[in-house]
Copies of this chain bind each other. A is one copy, B any other.
Amino acid sequence: MVGHESPPEPRRRPRQARAQRTVEAIVEAGARVFAERGYAGSTTNHIALRAGVSVGSLYEYFPNKDAILAEVADRHVQRMIGPVIELLDTAEPAPEGLPDWLDRFVERMLAVHLESPELHRLLLEEAPHHPAIDACVLQMETSLAHRVRTLFERDAGVSLRDPDTAAHLVVQTVEALTHRFAHHGIHELSPQAFVAEVTRLLAGYLERSRRGA
């Protein structure tokens, strides 16, 4: 009769799993509520309600409202740069193909910006500049810049005088322009034309910046 009365599953698991689900629900609810109502307009009660959880539970897992924002921001940024990093990491060494992958880079950045624009805008523009968010964004940029620089260096055709600066400028420019375009557009410019134009902008820069030039 030993080991008979208790199911083989560990006892603590369900609790932890439940807790995990609760946290998950809160973060997701947070993302939606923040996106819909802005930071100041969102209350912890809204979020708890949307998560199907009581405020008490919310405070069981997050010390305050900002902590929810930080988590939401972190996840959002991770989800955003994932595809971009993947692209950068799998880029073929192709000297003459520079414009080609620039094109693909810009294209993917734009795609990523168009995905959940409200949340994105919130995090980058409206949210009080919480250290956590600032850190997130800087880290994202550094991470991308680092990979872009690696590509520059690996690519024989692009041997720049100051590859690090170039990489940062490129990343910042693409980030800023796609962000802007995703939100306000530029006249009637189509996304394709926009991507082409930004690619041209960067290609010109990189050619000019070659060490030999």
Residues of A within 8 A of B (CB): 1-4, 6, 37-38, 40-41, 66, 121, 124-131, 138, 162, 164-166, 168-169, 172-173, 176-177, 180, 184, 186-187, 189, 193, 197-198, 200-201, 203-209
How many identical chains are in the complex? Answer: 4
Contact B1 A41 (CB under 8 A): yes
Q: Which of B40, B180, B184 sits near A176, CB closer than 8 Å?
A: B180
Contact A66 B2 (CB under 8 A): yes
How far, in angstroms, from A208 to B198 measured CA to CA in the complex? 12
Contact B4 A41 (CB under 8 A): yes
Contact A37 B204 (CB under 8 A): no
Contact A2 B130 (CB under 8 A): yes
The residue on B at minimum CB distance from A127 is B126
The residue on B at minimum CB distance from A125 is B125
A100 to chain B, nearest CB (A): 16
Contact B128 A1 (CB under 8 A): yes
Given A125-B125, A165-B193, A169-B197, 20 additional A-B pairs, CB 8 A: A2-B128, A3-B130, A4-B41, A6-B37, A40-B128, A121-B129, A124-B125, A125-B129, A126-B128, A138-B184, A168-B186, A169-B186, A173-B176, A173-B201, A203-B208, A204-B204, A204-B205, A204-B206, A204-B207, A204-B209
